[in-house]
Amino acid sequence: MGKYVLKLFVTGINARSEKAIKNLKEICNSAFPNEYELIVIDVLESPEIAEEEKILATPTLVKTLPLPIRRLIGDLSDKEKVLLYLDINKKQA
Amino acid sequence: MKGKILYVDDEADNLTIFSKMLLNDGYHVDTATNSKETDALLEKGCYDILLLDIGLKNESGLDILKKVKSDPEFKLMMVVMITGLFRDSDQLSNGLESGADGYLTRPIKKREFLARINAFMRHRQTIIALEKSETRFKKIIDRNPDAILIVENNGHIKFANPAAEKMFQLSIDYLLNQSFGYPLISGEHTEINIVRKTTDKLVGEMRTIDIDWDDTDAFLTSIRDITELKKLLEELVLAREKAEENDKLKSAFLANMSHEIRTPMNGILGFAELLKESELSGEDKNQYLGIIQDAGERMLSIINNIIDVSKIESGQMEVSNSEININDILKYIFTFFKPQTDSKSLRFSYETEKMDEEITIVSDREKIYAILTNLIRNAIKFCDSGEIKFGYKINHPFIEFFVADTGSGIPKNRLEAIFERFIQADIENIMAKQGSGLGLAISKAYVEMLGGNMWVESTVGKGSTFNFSIPMKPGDI
């Protein structure tokens, strides 16, 4: 458990943020089920965390573990590109 | 004219010979022999080329050069040094290092001299064209209302325009090298929320394309503020839902009204038929006539309500203000309803706060009367035991009326809906349900026309208190 640590920053709960969460869960469940920890952070509720992480816009996905830290912004609907950028090789999982 | 040249040389022969060559080749030439004359000419205007004898006597040509090169006004003027054959290498190096654009060595053949001057002119033209183009493109980027970012593969911002500064409420200097994130879009564009310090939240439409930036792969990302557009769309969706809802309510209302009108109508027709029977007793006849009259009144009331609603909806309902004594109205209403409350064995009372002669307000008598009548009629309808009280309190500059009953009360989730047109709170009490369901909506609309508002406090099983507050004079709000 917890091999991948992912933080997803969203602004409030709305269609946009729900879509991002759904997309990300689908990606994680198919690429490395049960091997990830996903933390969803609402910048409206936790502005201090957003400021600390210097989040400029949402949805922003930050992969904190394993290193290197990767950060991407967008709707997370292109599964292949997301995995590629996060530097996640399916075979590792 | 091919261009303007200022030629500075302290040897008269040189000045004459080279000036003539340039003049003949189509240049405008001014000449100076020392720095004072040079300054005076430069004061008057700019030149394309400053042709400068580096070895001026008494004063160094180098000083003129440095002065000119430090002045941004002469940024686009090319400075060409002229030096002798046995030139001083240090002097030449100093000149080039101080910003001279090139040099010529005398003696020089006429053709080479002109060719070199022409080459400098061409070079200058290129620089000007580049400068102009740079200014134009910079203007396009700077003035673009969309935020433009150059984002490297690692997510770091390498360029941001002023619109980005405004959007993120962060300076361009701060934004540079901040991590924006790798922009990932599957289609043409995606919506993002901008995180900023102020509470107004922006929605941006982000587009991104690959770009080569300083020989590295990067993204050109543009973000358009679509906050207003989104708001408008949401409002449109809400308006459409509301319109659809209204449409449904109207249809339901029509069906309901047809039923409401048909029931008393059936009564009228049925009892009218019975009245034709010849062997009816006088008592029966009177009873039937009473039923017909009640049914007719109920129909009239329903039809009046429908007419009022359509008048309110089409804006034809007018307010007609006059001086009214509130205590008189209360007394009249009390007398009017007393028989009805007596017949249901309800306690019925009203409260006034002021003496009769002190309570004159300016408002619409008919509307206040209609609102109170409607509220009390409802109270009687929904109240089977206990009491009904009504009255007012002065809350300057408003007068607050209340009608309180110990009736069935209204469930919390219905409290707002009861003021909507065509809706009744209680659907269990069949007898009470008779009526158009328009009374409260009309009352509320009247209160609003009089510049006030209406609200209700209610506990199921304990009763309801309807309140409305209106200005004591039309202008007093």
Grade residue B176 by pLDDT with cuts at 50, 70 and 90.
very high
Q: Look at B184 and A73 and tell me if their CB atoms are within 8 Å.
A: yes
B162 and B249 in a single domain? The answer is no
Q: How many domains does chain B have?
A: 4
Q: Which of B151, B176, B184 is the best mutation test for A, with the most CBs of A within 10 A?
A: B184
First to last CA, chain B: 77
Give the distance from residue A28's alpha carbon to the nearest chain B alpha carbon, in angstroms: 17
Q: Which two tokens stand for residue A11?
A: 């602004």
Q: Cβ distance B371 to B446 under 8 Å?
A: yes
Nearest to B100 by CA among B60, B132, B135, B139: B60
Closest in A9, A10, A81 to B184, CB measured: A81
How confident is the model at residue B430, as a pLDDT? Answer: 40
CB proximity list for B299: less than 8 A, separation 6 or greater: B261, B264, B265, B268
Q: Does residue B265 sit at the A interface (CB-CB below 8 Å)?
A: no
pLDDT of B8 > 90? The answer is yes
- Residue with the larger pLDDT of the pair B416 and B34: B34
Q: How many CA atoms lie within 13 A of B306 on its CB side?
A: 16
B102-105 and B147-152 beta bridge pairing: unpaired
Q: Look at A72 and B184 and tell me if their CB atoms are within 8 Å.
A: yes
A82 chain-B contacts, CB cut-off 8 A: 184
Q: Cβ distance A36 to A24 under 8 Å?
A: no
How confident is the model at residue B426, as a pLDDT? Answer: 41
Q: Look at B168 and A56 and tell me if their CB atoms are within 8 Å.
A: yes
A54 chain-B contacts, CB cut-off 8 A: 178-179
Q: Look at A11 and B155 and tell me if their CB atoms are within 8 Å.
A: no
pLDDT in tens, B40-53: 999 988 899 999 98
How confident is the model at residue B255, as a pLDDT? Answer: 77
Rounded CA separation B57/B84 (Å):
13
Nearest to B452 by CA among B367, B326, B388: B367
Rounded CA separation B327/B441 (Å):
25
- State the average pLDDT over residues B160-164: 94
Q: Look at A58 and B180 and tell me if their CB atoms are within 8 Å.
A: no
Q: Could you tell me if residue B423 is inside a domain?
A: yes
A75 chain-B contacts, CB cut-off 8 A: 184-186, 190-191
B155 and B237 in a single domain? The answer is no
Task: Name the burial class of residue B223, with classes exposed (0-12), middle (13-18) and buried (19+) by CB atoms within 10 angstroms of its CB.
Answer: buried
B212 and B111 in a single domain? The answer is no
Cα separations in angstroms, A54 against A41, A58, B19, B446: 13, 11, 64, 54
B37 and B53 in a single domain? The answer is yes
Q: Does residue B201 sit at the A interface (CB-CB below 8 Å)?
A: yes
Q: Among B166-170, B186-190, B386-390, where is mean pLDDT lowest? A: B186-190
**Mean of the per-residue pLDDT values for chain B?**
87
Cα separations in angstroms, B112 against A84, B21, B24, B153: 62, 11, 15, 52
- Domain locations in chain A as residue ranges: 4-92
Q: Last residue of a domain, which of B262, B292, B313? A: B313
B247 and B180 in a single domain? The answer is no
B233 chain-A contacts, CB cut-off 8 A: none
How confident is the model at residue B59, as a pLDDT? Answer: 63
Q: Could you tell me if residue B425 is inside a domain?
A: yes
Q: Could you tell me if residue B476 is inside a domain?
A: no
B149 and B204 in a single domain? The answer is yes
B468 DSSP β-pair partners: B401, B454
The ranges of chain A with pLDDT < 70 are 1-2, 87-93
Q: Could you tell me if residue B477 is inside a domain?
A: no
pLDDT of B57 > 80? The answer is no
Q: Look at B185 and A75 and tell me if their CB atoms are within 8 Å.
A: yes
Give the distance from residue A64's alpha carbon to the nearest chain B alpha carbon, in angstroms: 13
Q: Cβ distance B48 to B121 under 8 Å?
A: yes
Any idea what the CATH number is for the domain that residue B286 is in?
1.10.287.130
User: Which residue in chain A is spatially nearest to B177 when comparing CA positions?
Assistant: A54
CB proximity list for B272: less than 8 A, separation 6 or greater: B292
Q: Look at A73 and B181 and tell me if their CB atoms are within 8 Å.
A: yes
Closest in A50, A56, A59 to B180, CB measured: A56
Q: Cβ distance B105 to B84 under 8 Å?
A: yes
Provide the domain limits for residue B154.
145-225
How confident is the model at residue B427, as a pLDDT? Answer: 42
Q: Would you tell me how many other CB atoms lie within 10 Å of the CB of residue B455?
A: 13
B119 and B187 in a single domain? The answer is no
pLDDT in tens, B292-324: 898 888 888 888 888 888 888 777 888 889 999
Any idea what the CATH number is for the domain that residue B176 is in?
3.30.450.20
Task: Name the burial class of residue A10, with classes exposed (0-12), middle (13-18) and buried (19+) by CB atoms within 10 angstroms of its CB.
Answer: buried
Q: Does residue B180 sit at the A interface (CB-CB below 8 Å)?
A: yes
Give the distance from residue A90's alpha carbon to the nearest chain B alpha carbon, in angstroms: 19
Cα separations in angstroms, B8 against B105, B106, B115: 15, 14, 19
B325 DSSP β-pair partners: B360
Q: Last residue of a domain, which of B225, B246, B275? A: B225
Q: Look at B195 and A56 and tell me if their CB atoms are within 8 Å.
A: yes
Q: Last residue of a domain, which of B111, B141, B171? A: B141
Q: Is A82 helix (H, G, I), strand (E, B) or coil?
A: helix
Rounded CA separation A68/A87 (Å):
9
Task: Name the burial class of residue B249, with classes exposed (0-12), middle (13-18) and buried (19+) by CB atoms within 10 angstroms of its CB.
Answer: middle
CATH class of residue range A4-92 = alpha beta
Which residue in the block uniquely carries the two structure tokens 């002109």? B114
B170 chain-A contacts, CB cut-off 8 A: 56
B454 and B423 in a single domain? The answer is yes
Rounded CA separation B119/B116 (Å):
5
Question: Which ipTM was obtained for this model?
Answer: 0.86
Q: Cβ distance B448 to B398 under 8 Å?
A: no
How confident is the model at residue B437, as a pLDDT? Answer: 66
A81 chain-B contacts, CB cut-off 8 A: 184, 186
Rounded CA separation A11/B195 (Å):
8
Nearest to B436 by CA among B273, B264, B315: B264
Give the distance from residue A63's alpha carbon to the nearest chain B alpha carbon, in angstroms: 11
Q: Cβ distance A56 to B168 under 8 Å?
A: yes
A36-42 and A4-10 beta bridge pairing: parallel
Q: Could you tell me if residue B405 is inside a domain?
A: yes
How confident is the model at residue B165, as a pLDDT? Answer: 92
Any idea what the CATH number is for the domain that residue B399 is in?
3.30.565.10
Give the distance from residue A59's alpha carbon to the nearest chain B alpha carbon, in angstroms: 6
B147-152 and A70-74 beta bridge pairing: unpaired
Nearest to B405 by CA among B378, B368, B431: B378
pLDDT of B260 > 90? The answer is no
Q: Look at A81 and B186 and tell me if their CB atoms are within 8 Å.
A: yes
Rounded CA separation A52/A70 (Å):
16
B4-8 and B49-53 beta bridge pairing: parallel
B338 and B430 in a single domain? The answer is yes
How confident is the model at residue B198, as a pLDDT? Answer: 76
Rounded CA separation B261/B32 (Å):
109
pLDDT in tens, B333-367: 999 999 999 999 999 999 888 777 778 899 998 89
A58 DSSP β-pair partners: B193
B327 and B360 in a single domain? The answer is yes
